[in-house]
């Protein structure tokens, strides 16, 4: 299953979730009018990533760059294979892109790309950096590690009993992987993994599909398809569910003390570590599937209608 199929399954899950658990949500003032559409309206967007003044969008038809917060976009796909661009990360001035044909690298901000696939040709779902190490999560191949800035890769899956990995997060020496069935932790750069799922409570019996992980200070949030948003304050030793924003989470983003959750009912904001949430609009039948912060703006993709922007 490639990234496009995963993406479509997430869209379907969020559409189905529009009919579930709505009564548990406290909807505040819908501020949809403060959102501005900033283009790429005719493309399915698989990834949004901000680095410095640059905003990158990975689509079903290549990679795009905006240097003015989405006002204008240009294609940066020269040398990339055709198909979905699933994720980005910047390390040591190098920009990496996950594609259906593995990982590609540019050293000139997308003017040209070269393959960075030695030891790995499977499509990444997410990247993470821990110290000098670069990690890539894959759908079906588990987690890969590069200690050579992407020149070569090895699998690091010992103890990872689910190799369908959607998301990664790093805190100090701890690496967390959100999988097709819960969260796993490695404290030794992926040499070994343990499941950390104490407190997860199945609500829809669909499995704990962890599509998003995000740290806010020492708090770790895990967003799931159909099972809601969970919080751990002890590096995953235990989890508690967060009520008030629904069961279908598509994306998470953090900016300072602001935590944003893209859900099947729009975007929600918490400024108190998830205790309370405010609806900040962008309700859409397809839900909010991607979020990125490029100060002073929050960017979102709803599954239809391109990229949207609002002030943080």
Nearest residue to 54 via CA among 35, 74, 37:
74
Burial profile 108-119: b = 16 or more Cβ within 10 angstroms, e = fewer = eebeebebbbee
CA-CA-CA-CA dihedral for 49, 60, 124, 208, to nearest 10: 90
Instruction: Output the pLDDT for position 100.
Output: 92
More confident residue, 18 or 134: 134
Bond before 155 cis per omega within 30 degrees: no
More confident residue, 228 or 10: 228
Give the mean model confidence (pLDDT) for residues 144-152: 95
The number of domains in the chain is 1
Distances from the Cα of 148 to the Cα of 92, 118, 186, 223, angstroms: 11, 11, 20, 31
Strands 182-186 and 174-179: antiparallel
- Tell me which residue range forms the domain holding 190: 3-311
pLDDT, one tens digit per residue, over 37-81 is 999 998 889 999 999 999 999 999 899 999 999 999 999 999 999
Instruction: Output the pLDDT for position 26.
Output: 44
Residue 198 has pLDDT above 50, yes or no: yes
Both structure tokens of 11: 């869209």
Lowest mean pLDDT among 107-116, 142-151, 240-249, 251-260: 240-249
More confident residue, 116 or 284: 116
More confident residue, 285 or 154: 154
Whole-prediction pTM value? 0.90
Instruction: Output the pLDDT for position 206.
Output: 63
Percent of the chain topping pLDDT 90 = 73
Residue 202 burial by Cβ neighbours in a 10 Å radius (0-12, 13-18, 19+):
exposed
Give the mean model confidence (pLDDT) for residues 212-222: 96
CATH number, position 58? 2.130.10.10
Instruction: Output the pLDDT for position 243.
Output: 85
């Amino acid at each position: 299953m490639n990234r496009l199929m995963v993406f479509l399954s997430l869209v379907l899950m969020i559409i189905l979730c529009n009919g579930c658990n709505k009564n548990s949500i406290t909807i505040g003032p819908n501020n949809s009018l403060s959102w501005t559409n900033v283009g790429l309206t005719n493309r399915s967007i698989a990834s949004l990533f901000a680095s410095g003044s640059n905003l990158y969008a990975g689509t079903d038809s290549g990679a795009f760059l905006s240097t003015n917060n989405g006002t204008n976009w240009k294609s940066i796909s020269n040398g990339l294979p055709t198909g979905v661009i699933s994720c980005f990360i910047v390390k040591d001035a190098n920009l990496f892109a996950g594609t259906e044909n593995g990982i590609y690298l540019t050293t000139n901000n997308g003017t040209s790309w070269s393959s960075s696939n030695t030891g790995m040709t499977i499509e990444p779902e997410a990247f993470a950096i821990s110290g000098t190490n670069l990690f890539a999560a894959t759908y079906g191949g588990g987690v890969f590690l590069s200690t050579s800035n992407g020149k070569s890769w090895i699998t690091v899956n010992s103890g990872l009993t689910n190799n369908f990995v959607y998301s990664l997060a790093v805190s100090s020496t701890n690496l967390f992987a959100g999988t097709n069935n819960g969260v796993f932790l490695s404290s030794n750069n992926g040499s070994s993994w343990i499941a950390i799922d104490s407190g997860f409570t199945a609500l829809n019996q669909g499995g704990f599909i962890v599509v998003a992980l995000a740290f806010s200070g020492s708090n770790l949030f895990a967003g799931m398809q159909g099972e809601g948003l969970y919080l751990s304050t002890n590096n995953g030793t235990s989890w508690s569910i967060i009520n008030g924003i629904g069961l279908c989470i598509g994306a998470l983003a953090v900016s300072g003390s602001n935590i944003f959750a893209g859900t099947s009912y729009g975007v929600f904001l918490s400024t108190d570590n998830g205790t309370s949430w405010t609806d900040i609009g962008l309700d859409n039948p397809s839900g909010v599937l991607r979020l990125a912060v490029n100060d002073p703006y929050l960017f979102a993709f709803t599954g239809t209608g391109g990229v949207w922007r609002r002030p943080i």
